[in-house]
Amino acid sequence: MGPFMKQYNGYKILTVGLVFPVWILYCTMSWSDDTIFRPPAPRPAYEFASKSIESLPQELANLTNLLYWPLTPGDKGDLLASTSPQTSTYHLRGPAQASYALGTYLEAILIARDHRGRPKTHGGDLFRAQLLGPDVKAGVPGDVQDLENGTYLLSFPLLWAGKAQVQVRLIHSSEAIGVLRRIWREKRATVDFQGYFRGPTGTEETVICNVDPQSTRTKGPTCQYRDVDSGELWFCAQPPTLPCNSLVGHSSGHYLNVTTPHDEALLAWKVTDKVLPQGISPIQIRTTAPGNSSLALSPRPPCHPGLPAPKPSGFYHREVWHSLSCSSRSFSTVDSILGCLAGRVVHMMGDSTLRQWWEYLLHTVPSLKSMDLHVTYQTGPLMAVETSRDIVLHWRAHSWPLRSLRTPVASLHSVVRELGGLAGGPHTVVVLGLGAHFTTFPPSIFVRRLTGIRTAVAALLAREPRTLVVIKLANTGYKSVYGSDWFTLQVNRLLRAAFAGLHVAFVDAWEMTSSLALPDNIHPGPLIVRNEVDSLLSFVCPA
């Protein structure tokens, strides 16, 4: 068993646990008496709470274990005591070789040091390691094992023949992660939203809204809105004169000031997402015998839901992503995309990184035509059709919390509501992509959302098992206190655990956006999006 599979098995043991105590806390929480309740809409309420608790997988039993990250003592106000990307170093674990055999591993040791050059004595830093092959446009994420003593073990699978180069970046120091962890766990919200109320004469009033009444920043009464499908709550400060049931619009509000000057110094750009000095010379990877393949790809099954998640999940070669869990395909022509999607209705629900998939298909396939539904483009719903092949593509944003331009509240459907309205079947594809809008709230908020979605997905698959459900993991990109790769890493742990045991497929956008020498962007470029969509289509059309 190689180092990567050992780490993967360790990860599975680590993720035994998450939501039950958090959900019980949520269900038993009481809000202040001055809350004004809006009557639910006149349709049957989804039996959310009891079904959600009953359907929780064992992996969602202990939030502390699932989101484990080494505790660190902090820098006691001394910025120079924090981990430095300039002085931290790494070197080969063993003696250098003239060349390395394809299919083996390269291992290295990383020593974290502070700005004075002193070795750190604790772990908790977020390093990203990559093995890159510039000549063949290749890349694979390296495994970083934190020994929690200031030393990290790096391991890279050698998956292509030719030249390769190790690159290591310090995304956040352990001290910066201490700031992120404190804010994520202790602050109710780091952003707020605006709710727009309109009276019968056209008079409008704007107030602050959020995930809990305290975060509306009002000392007066609040309006409470319960989603009758998911059971989730949303709160707005009571407007000065208009009633709670006159809420018509929603938009982003403000980013809240939640950091101290010292926090900001630890998260500053000059010490965030920086490449460490080169510690290993480029290596040469050789094939085991003349004429053998230049890639280390063992036989893999066709792509289908329920596959185990290897670590890494795949790699790039000549700008094409190769899954290590299944025989992923490349859909490089318009005809191949049309042939795969023929007769299918695709429902995409999530954030703007998933909307990129809808946009890619629309722009790549000329015969796909977008329908003007006269909605706010940023939130949808969006729809495109290809009438000669009976293809329908939907995308819509998940409901609040959602940072967006002003949009009608009536357009903000919860994912649970949308899933509950699907009959499913062999021609139905559901793609879910959530995460980026939940990093500004404590993890319990995302847990609450995932609990309801899991229940709805399980119900959909129970009534029609031939439905394909694909989960897009959140990708890299953000590097601030409002959204960070460290937050995203935790979000993906929650996503994996939430859907454990269900017959769903995953597209690992986290590794697909962290394997090449490309700048991080919350909205990746065309190369990445193309490969993400090819991964989706590989599940739709495995052969």
Q: With 0-12 CB in 10 A as exposed, 13-18 as middle and 19+ as buried, what is 526?
A: exposed
The mean-pLDDT minimum among 185-189, 210-214, 382-386, 438-442 falls in 185-189
Span 454-501, pLDDT tens digits: 999 999 999 999 999 999 999 998 899 999 999 999 999 999 999 999
Residue 19 · residue 494 · CB < 8 Å? no
**Cα atoms in the Cβ-side hemisphere of radius 13 Å centred on 127:** 33
The count of residues in the chain is 543
Is the pLDDT at 10 greater than 80? The verdict is no
338 φ/ψ angles, rounded to the nearest 5 degrees:
-60, -40
Token couple for 371: 């329908």
Is the pLDDT at 8 greater than 70? The verdict is no
User: Averaged over 3-28, what is the pLDDT?
Assistant: 37
- pTM for the model: 0.88
pLDDT band at 340 (very low <50, low <70, confident <90, very high): very high
Nearest partner of 120 among 89, 155, 91, judged by Cα: 89
| Predicted pLDDT of residue 291 | 63
pLDDT band at 66 (very low <50, low <70, confident <90, very high): confident
- DSSP lists the bridge partners of residue 384 as 370, 393
Distances (CA, A) of 88 to 62, 248, 311, 506: 34, 53, 25, 34
Alpha carbons 501 and 494: distance in angstroms, whole number: 14
Alpha carbons 114 and 500: distance in angstroms, whole number: 39
